[in-house]
Amino acid sequence: MKDVAECPVCGQHDFLELFPSNYSGTVEQAAAFFLTDRAKAVHGRIARCARCSFVLTSPQYEPAQYDQLYREVAKVERPPGRTRAVSARYRSLADRVGAYAKSGRFLDFGCGDGHFLDHMPQFQGVGLEVRSGVAVGTNANDCRIIVGELEPAVTAGLLKPASFDFITTWDVLEHLPMLSRDVGLLRSLLKPGGFLFCSVPNVASFAAKLSGERWNCYLLEHLWYFSPTTLGAFFERQGFATRAVRPFLFPADVTTLASRVQQTYGLRLPVPKAIANWTLPLPAGVMFGAFQLKS
Ligand SMILES: [Zn+2]
C-alpha cells in the first residue's frame, strides 16, 4: 500500500488522520468487502488534507491491485438489477442533465449495462464500462457500449479527442485510483465548452456528519470523499468552471436499505415481501455536480 503523496485538490503534502482503518485483511481478501454484495462495510484509513480539508483514503492499494479487485468482484457479483429505484435515480439524473443539454453526443463513463443510456433517448450516447460481463454491445437505443478501461480506449482512438458535448459519470470518481489522470483524459474528450456531470458522496452532508465513522459511504473501495467545496476546487484545478453542486436524494428500495444497515451495523432487518420494492428518496449524502470546460 502507498500513502497518497499529493492532495489532488490543492497539491499539498500534509494529511491528518480522521479515522483509522477498520479493515485488517489482506488485499487478496479485500474483494469480499467491495461493492454491493460486500460482507461488511469496512474502510481504509481516512485522512484529511491539512490545507484544503479534502478527505481521502490513505494509504491506498496500487492501481493494478484495484483493477484486479474489480475483476474478481465482477466474477461473483449479481448483475445490477434494473429495479424501480435505479430507474428513478437515472430519471432524476437525466432531468438534471437536461437542464444544461438538449441534444448532442455524450459519454457515460462507468455505464454498467447501459441503463442510464436508456434514459437519454434524445442524445447520441456512448458508454464505457470496465467490468466485463455486465455490459452488452448496444442497448435499446442503439447506443454503443465499449468494455474496457479509459486510458487504453483513448489511446486506441475508440474515444476521440474533443468529440463529446458532455460526459456523465455516476458514482464513479470516488473509485478511481488515478483520479487526476482520468479526469484529465475525460477533459480531453470534451468539445470546447463541454460539460461534465457527476454524482459523488458528499462528506459534508448531514448524513455524513450524523453518522461519523459509520457513514455508509466510508468504504474500502472509496478513495476520495468530496465536499461541495473540494469538488468545485478539484474541477477548477482541472480546467472546469463550477455550474452547480447540489444535494441529490438517492432513490433506494427497502431491500437495499436493509442490506446496507446489515453491512454497517450487523443488524438483520426483516423485509416483508409487500414492501421490498418500495422506493424512497433517501438523504444518503450524495451530491450532483455540473462542471463546464473553460474556454
Ligand atoms: Zn488539499
Confidence of residue 139 (pLDDT cuts 50, 70, 90): low
So where are the chain's domains? 15-293
Report CA(51)–ligand 1 centroid distance (Å): 5
Q: And the C-alpha cell for 156? A: 486506441
CATH assignment of 15-293?
A: 3.40.50.150
CA of 106 to the centre of ligand 1 (A): 31
CA of 5 to the centre of ligand 1 (A): 11
- Residues of the chain with pLDDT > 70, as a percent, come to 91
Beta strand segments in 15-163, E: 15-19, 46-49, 55-57, 105-109, 124-129, 144-147
pTM (2 d.p.):
0.89
- As a three-state string, the secondary structure of 235-271 is HHHCCEEEEEEEEEEEEEEHHHHHHHHHHHHCCCCCC
Give the model's confidence band at 171: pLDDT under 50 very low, under 70 low, under 90 confident, else very high: very high
**Three-state DSSP class for residue 91:** helix
pLDDT above 90 for 187: yes
Can you tell me the distance from the alpha carbon of 30 to that of 19, in angstroms, rounded to the nearest whole number? 19
Distance 233 CA to ligand 1 centre (A): 9
- Cell numbers at 63, concatenated: 492501481
Supply the pLDDT for residue 41.
83
- Find the 80 Cα to ligand 1 centroid distance in Å: 34
pLDDT in tens, 225-284: 999 999 999 999 999 999 999 988 877 776 777 777 677 777 777 777 777 777 766 777
CA–centroid distance, residue 19 to ligand 1 (Å): 17
44 DSSP 8-state letter: -
**Within its chain, how far is the Cα of 215 from the centroid?**
16
Which helix (H) or strand (E) covers residue 287, if one does?
A: strand 279-293
Ligand 1 mean position to 15 CA, how many Å?
8
Structure confidence at residue 32 (pLDDT): 84
Q: Distance from the CA of 125 to the center of ligand 1, in angstroms?
A: 34
Ligand 1: distance of its center to the CA of 206 in Å? 22
Q: How far is the CA of 53 from the centre of ligand 1 (A)?
A: 6
Each residue's pLDDT tens digit, 52-89: 999 999 999 999 999 888 888 877 665 556 777 788 88
Quick one: pLDDT at residue 136? 52
pLDDT band at 15 (very low <50, low <70, confident <90, very high): very high
User: Cis omega before residue 121 (within 30°)?
Assistant: no
- From edge to edge, which strands make up the β-sheet containing 279-293? 144-147, 124-129, 105-109, 164-170, 190-201, 279-293, 240-253
Distance 199 CA to ligand 1 centre (A): 20
Rounded CA-CA distance 50/88 in Å is 38
**Residue 143 binned pLDDT confidence (cut-offs 50, 70, 90):** low
The grid coordinates listed for 185 are 483524459
Q: 194: Cβ–Cβ under 8 A, 6 or more apart, which residues?
A: 164, 165, 166, 167, 292, 293
From the CA of 149, how far away is ligand 1's center (Å)? 27
Cα(43) to centroid(ligand 1), Å: 21
Cβ neighbors of 124 (< 8 A, separation 6 or more) are 104, 105, 106, 143
Strand 190-201 versus strand 224-225 pairing type: unpaired
Average pLDDT over residues 185-189: 98
Contacts of residue 125, Cβ cutoff 8 Å, sequence gap at least 6: 105, 106, 107, 108, 117, 141, 143, 144
* 107 alpha carbon – ligand 1 mean position (Å): 29
Strand partners, 242: 291
Q: Give residue 43's pLDDT band: very low, low, confident or very high (50, 70, 90).
A: very high
pLDDT at 166 over 90: yes
| Pair type for strands 55-57 and 105-109 | unpaired
Side chain identity, residue 189: L
Per-residue model confidence (pLDDT) at position 117: 92
d(CA 198, CA 290): 7
Identity of residue 237: R
Distance of CA 99 from the midpoint of ligand 1 (Å): 31
In the chain, what is the straight-line distance between the N-terminal and C-terminal CA atoms, in Å?
Answer: 38
Q: How far apart are the C-alpha atoms of 182 and 168, rounded to whole Å?
A: 13
Instruction: Yes or no: say if 30 and 43 are a contact pair by the CB < 8 Å rule.
Output: no
How far, in Å, is the centroid of ligand 1 from the Cα of 156?
33
Rounded to the nearest angstrom, the distance between the alpha carbon of 219 and the centre of ligand 1 is 21
- DSSP-based three-state secondary structure for 166: strand
48 Cα: distance to centroid of ligand 1 (angstroms): 8
235 C-alpha to ligand 1 centroid (Å): 13
